[in-house]
Structure 1
Amino acid sequence: MNNLLINWLHNDPKTQQLISFNHHDIVTGSLFTAHVAHLFEQLNASPIKRWLLAAETSDLFAAGMCAALLAGKQVVLPANIQGGTLTELNHAFDGVISDQPLSEVKQFILLKKELGLANKSWPETSQIGELVLFTSGSSGEPKAIAKSIEQLDAEVSILEQTFASRLPQCSVISTVSHQHIYGLLFKILWPLAASRPFLSDLVEYPETLSYYIALMPNLCLISSPAQLSRLPEALEFEQQQLAPSLIFSSGGPLLYDASQHIHTCYGQFPIEVFGSTETGGIAYRRQMEPNRTWLPFSCVEICENDEDGALMLKSPYLPASNEWMKCDDKIELAEDGRFTLLHRLDRIVKVEEKRLSLAQMEGLLCTHPFVKEAAVIQLTEPRIMLGAAICLSEEGLEQLDDAGKLSVNNHLKKHLLSQFERVTLPRRWRYPDTLPLNAQGKRVQTDLLAVFNDD
């Protein structure tokens, strides 16, 4: 099963093969080949190397990605297409492949459904390009993570080797975006390489999910902890007559209760996959009992750092596959090779499965004229959310006195939306005169938490 993705990219899909579908449309192998060839010709004629790729539907995204890779281009994937995010990444790309104009000054190739394209053969290439994903670095600046086709192929091949026996002629549907590494791998690259059709649209509602489960006998659901946690309530915690063949969850830990509720509704426990953009997949588990440990993928070696208990990793998904990489997760290693995740060791957090830097958010807040100093902290009660403690400037204090706290909140939220998605914004806001510091002038977690205790 090695080279599954690389072999697929070098060979055109079968004419009648179903590549993707939605409730009113399908894309066959012949249509997909024509679209990829059409885009390839445009990309091959351009000297530009670095192309930002973004599309709402996964069929258009997949065509643009395949064409760019076959043309030997560097494909840049932003975490989102917010204006501030694209401005920060302006230095990283010279052209845009998208279903909408995203930059007035960059060369632009439009992604759209074109049914009248002439039949052309799958592009031949001697050198496949690479993908570059952007994620929050420890400094708060977006960090570029390059992924070679060999790294992605290794991961796709291991996923197929590990889970294929549980996916009989499955179609794939997803509630997560293909712009991130999890959705990219599980919804686009793995299905393409294994000849499994995928839903081109994003599943946003439980009713849509139930519609496709009833329509298709074998279905693989790609989802996230936040979405799976809300799903059982929408299904009234009742056992469903029809269920997906397999359910994957990634992006953060799934609560044990949520895993049990999914089992109640669908008769199976979700398979959780632990990893990151940098590392790729590391391990997986099914929470059939509390505190279930994680089993590393067969190709991944792990150990525990002697000094701080950090996860040490050796993996073919890494640029230096023979070197140990230290991760920011503290673990407890069991004798059988499984491990327990304890907590993060850095200031990168996940909110609603969106990975973000608290340092980046604080830095952006401090650029607003209302803000003199800012501290953002992750709160866990009554649920995981962010809290922002802000020392206001004179202008900010005037706004607070004249228009009230809600007005200040809204101004700062609007400011954050230039770089962060709405679901990740702080839910609780405090405006103390000063931020608590210890004798060394450093912020102490417990003191910051106390700022939010006066509800």
Structure 2
Amino acid sequence: MTELLKTWLYQGPSSQQLISFNHHDIVTGSAFTAQVAALHASLSEQPAKRWLLASDSSDLFAIGLCAGLLAGKQLILPSNTQAGTLSELTHEFDGILSDSCLCEGKLMLTLKKEHSGAESHWPSLADNATVGELVLFTSGSSGQPKAITKTLAQLDAEVSVLEQTFAAHLPHCSVISTVSHQHIYGLLFKILWPLAASRPFLSDLVEYPETLTYYTSLFPNLCLISSPAQLSRLPEALEHQPQLHSPSLVFSSGGPLNFQAAAEIAHCYGKPPIEVYGSTETGGIAYRRQSADNQPWRIFASHQIKQDAMDGALLLKSPYLDNDDWLKCDDKVNLVSDSEFHLLGRLDRIVKIEEKRICLVQMEQLLECHPMVSQAMLMVLEQPRVQLGAAIVLSSQGQQLLNNEGKLAVNNLLKAHLLTQFERVTLPRRWRYPEVLELTPQGKRDNQRLIELFSHD
């Protein structure tokens, strides 16, 4: 391992390193050093160990990340800043690092770009001090948020492997992203890897195809970090035409990209995206670039895999994990060789909607907490595109509202309830209100009956 990230974090950027940019501002290594040093000084004065870190601006997030790690703090990264999500995590942190007020009653240090003009030095770890760690939260199968701790050694291992695996495909380039850095994929690919490899990143999130086209025309070498849902829609926005200016490399993660979408991206940009398969728990496991339908995934050279004989689950050994044991993953696979496999689907009730990991148990539990709901069942609908369907048995109060004000009123009420913990793009798109939800003779969910509920509009 080259310890690429660890070396960079301990030494800091050169004064000339371009850290980040947007359409009206750039941040150089010297300015970034001053910003990190100022926040580090403030953090070092605080006894609080656990700090929630959240900002939509990637450069401000990176300031908080570097200062917090060097100050030996534990940084809590929420999957989103919805009020319900923060309420569930409130006992996990003592202070907040953010550029906006997220919740009352907590110590807060504001992330900001302003700093004194005096020359600053990159902070160093105090004698006998240990570097901080990150804690990300992901949906557990029980419906409760599951804390995943990432040490600097684990993150460094992944960044080093990414550079060794993909650097040959990347000229000296700038990085732009359509995905959030608050999740492990964006954190690694948009923040940590670019910092360590001296590739500047766009501090803003790319939300529109026009913005993407603007930056591809502006930069001769560009790396795009995106997701299957966004890439599947992109060819239509590009009018399915080959582009005069294209990214040098496109990454996709968060779920498999179907072959048609990969081929359409290749038609527009000249090359299909590189897909990376993994999870918050495991980090990256494997990658592929689809030149044929159902192309297998190839594991990173540092990994080992085998298959569980009982249920076909993927078993993994990886330097990104905190021990050398085999880890059982939640995906069923078919091994092609000792380094390649096909994915056959999930073994639990965790699903990806718009590349966001959702626990169906958690969403059902939240729905059943509402006084209008007696029972809730969710399922993933594949057509006309991947989305959630909700089958709800209403309480007498809910049935009265349905009778008096109609289905739309009930839909909107339940969506507002779900928005306390879930992002809007993940909410059910189709709603059904049967009198009962039938079970199989074994008392299990009758998925065929659920499918029939949604087969007619």
TM range (shorter): over 0.9
Aligned residue for 2:71?
71
Aligned residue for 1:274?
277
So what's the TM-score if we normalise by structure 1?
Answer: 0.99
Measure the CA separation in 1 of the matches of 2:276 and 2:199: 20
Structure 1, residues 139-194: CA drift from partner, whole Å, max 9, x if none? 00000000000000000000000001111111101000000000000000000011
Helix, strand or coil: the match of 1:8? helix
> What code does the residue aligned with 1:152 have?
L
Answer whether contact 2:372 2:396 (CA < 8 A) is retained. Answer: yes
Runs of 4+ in 1 over 3 A off after TM superposition: none
Structure 1, residues 185-207: CA drift from partner, whole Å, max 9, x if none? 00000000111110000011111
- Determine if the alignment matches structure 1 residue 230 to structure 2 residue 230: no
Answer whether contact 2:306 2:338 (CA < 8 A) is retained. Answer: no
Q: 1:265 aligns with which of 263, 268, 293?
A: 268
Q: 1:418 aligns with which of 414, 420, 430?
A: 420
Measure the CA separation in 1 of the matches of 2:251 and 2:23: 23
> What code does the residue aligned with 2:238 have?
L
Aligned residue for 1:32?
32
Measure the CA separation in 2 of the matches of 1:444 and 1:51: 44
How far did 1:273 drift?
0.1
Structure 1, residues 65-117: CA drift from partner, whole Å, max 9, x if none? 10000000000000000000000001111100001011211100001220545
Measure the CA separation in 2 of the matches of 1:337 and 1:10: 34
Structure 1, residues 340-370: CA drift from partner, whole Å, max 9, x if none? 0011110000000000100000000011110
How far did 1:127 drift?
1.7
1:115-264 to 2 correspondence within 5 Å? 115-125=115-125, 126-264=129-267
How far did 1:129 drift?
0.4
Return closer, same or farther for 1:403/1:296 CA change in 2, 3 Å cut-off.
same
1:427-442 to 2 correspondence within 5 Å? 427-442=429-444
Equivalent residue pairs, number: 454
Return closer, same or farther for 1:336/1:367 CA change in 2, 3 Å cut-off.
closer
Aligned residue for 2:5?
5
Aligned residue for 1:387?
389
How far did 1:335 drift?
2.8
> What code does the residue aligned with 1:384 have?
V
Aligned residue for 1:283?
286
Structure 1, residues 347-395: CA drift from partner, whole Å, max 9, x if none? 0000000001000000000111100111111111111100000000010
Structure 1, residues 264-310: CA drift from partner, whole Å, max 9, x if none? 00100100000000010000000110000000001111111111111
So what's the TM-score if we normalise by structure 2?
Answer: 0.98
Measure the CA separation in 1 of the matches of 2:428 and 2:400: 22
- Determine if the alignment matches structure 1 residue 104 to structure 2 residue 104: yes
Helix, strand or coil: the match of 1:287? coil
Judge which range, 226-235 or 440-449, deviates more: 440-449
Q: 2:305 aligns with which of 299, 302, 306?
A: 302
- Determine if the alignment matches structure 1 residue 316 to structure 2 residue 328: no
Measure the CA separation in 1 of the matches of 2:117 and 2:105: 28
How far did 1:119 drift?
2.0
Helix, strand or coil: the match of 2:357? strand
> What code does the residue aligned with 1:297 have?
F
> What code does the residue aligned with 1:357 have?
C
How far did 1:336 drift?
5.7
Answer whether contact 1:35 1:117 (CA < 8 A) is retained. Answer: no
Measure the CA separation in 1 of the matches of 2:188 and 2:244: 29
Helix, strand or coil: the match of 1:89? helix
Unmatched segments (≥5 aa) in structure 2: none
- Determine if the alignment matches structure 1 residue 348 to structure 2 residue 328: no
Measure the CA separation in 1 of the matches of 2:61 and 2:214: 24
Helix, strand or coil: the match of 2:440? coil
Measure the CA separation in 2 of the matches of 1:372 and 1:105: 35
Helix, strand or coil: the match of 1:329? strand
Measure the CA separation in 2 of the matches of 1:446 and 1:154: 45
How far did 1:337 drift?
2.4
- Determine if the alignment matches structure 1 residue 93 to structure 2 residue 93: yes
Answer whether contact 1:3 1:153 (CA < 8 A) is retained. Answer: yes
> What code does the residue aligned with 1:352 have?
E
How far did 1:47 drift?
0.4
> What code does the residue aligned with 1:412 have?
L
> What code does the residue aligned with 2:420 have?
S
Measure the CA separation in 1 of the matches of 2:446 and 2:76: 38
